[in-house]
Structure 1
Amino acid sequence: MDHSDEDIIASMMVTGHRAARLLESRLDTGVSAGEAVLLRVLDRGPATMSEIMATLHIRASTATSLVSRLVDAGYATRGHKPGDRRFRVIALSEAGRDAVALISPTFDEINSALAAASRTSAVHGYRSLVSTLSDIESID
């Protein structure tokens, strides 16, 4: 059995955790890396729970937990989708928009540092891995 595939996926998972810890160490807002990413997603506009799950590739329980923490902190609100009250939407509150303004420079700083330190081929390689992972997911 070739163990190189296991090493790649394990490395990707560890790298994801490292990126989250780096982000959290630079944020002064008290939000977790997952919450910060969700804040940035919601900054694009309100989203249903299904949209949040699909965008972040997370389970319903994880999405519910993240959303509840943002709502409890006053960063987000739950409401109904205009024109279809069957669907709940999550939107940023004013405090959430303020939080996005505080965390965005941290994302920008880390993204810039990674881009500057990485060769173009490394960035393309990462994007290729992400694309391949998406392709593998769609096979199932």
Structure 2
Amino acid sequence: MTPSTQPSLRAVRVLARLQRMLEFADAGLTIPQYRMLVVLSEGGERSARLAQRLAVRKPTLTALADGLIAAGYAERASEPGDRRIVRLQLTDAGRAALARADESYLAALAPLLSRMADPDRLVDGLIDAGDALDACLPARVPAQSPVESAR
């Protein structure tokens, strides 16, 4: 079996192409901005925990957060009872931007899914992969994540 026919390698190459497809979608957000808004939509987070969940270093997170705050999509809020603790939270404008991006990404994937014999199989597989990422990423955040080195 040649390297190009190995199923895992083929899957990696398909994922890279899927990412590129999403990057070209007119979502109004970059993929890193989208990822951060998705995490923030689940509830406010302290920056250390947010960096861990996104598998990025704190300086990268700070730059990303600053851009989202400047756009009005996120805000910093003090923790009740301890003003030293600052959490990032999604604003109403951030929720609207996330909803627009969700629609854009779904629209970008629709032609692909419509050509597949069993699109639910792909969707279910990606959800399983997301669950596996949630289980293994927080336990091991490298000094420089693959996401950062791919930029």
Q: Do they fold alike, i.e. is TM over 0.5?
A: yes
Other-structure match for 2:99: 101
Aligned residues: 134
Partner of 1:21: 20
Aligned position for 1:53? 51
What is the aligned partner in structure 1 of residue 148 from structure 2? none
Deviation at 1:12, TM superposition (A): 7.9
**SS of equivalent to 2:87:** strand
Structure 1 residue runs of 5 or longer lacking an equivalent are none
Q: What is the TM-score of this pair, normalised by structure 1?
A: 0.67
| Alignment partner, residue 36 of structure 1 | 34
Instruction: Please tell me whether the aligned partners of residues 52 and 138 of structure 2 are also in contact (alpha carbons under 8 angstroms).
Output: no
- Quote the offset at 1:97 in angstroms: 1.5
Of residues 77, 80, 85, the one that matches 2:78 is 80
Report which stretch shifted further, 53-62 or 11-20: 11-20
Cα deviation digits, residues 70-127 of structure 1 (max 9, x gap): 0111111112122322211111122112101211223444667777766848965994
2:12 and 2:140 map into 1 onto residues whose CA distance is 21
SS at match of 2:83: strand
Deviation, 1:128, is 6.3
Query: Kindly tell me: are residues 82 and 118 of structure 1, through their superposed partners in 2, closer, same or farther at Cα, counting changes over 3 Å?
Result: same
Aligned partners of 1:79, 1:48: CA distance in 2, in Å? 10
Between 1:123-132 and 1:51-60, the stretch displaced more is 123-132
Larger RCO (CA within 8 A; separation ≥ 6)? 2
**Bigger proportion of residues as helix:** 1
Structure 2: where are the runs of 5+ without partners? 142-151
TM-score (norm 2): 0.63
- Counterpart of 2:100 in structure 1: which amino acid? L
| 3-state SS of 2:86 partner | strand
SS in 1 for 2:94: helix
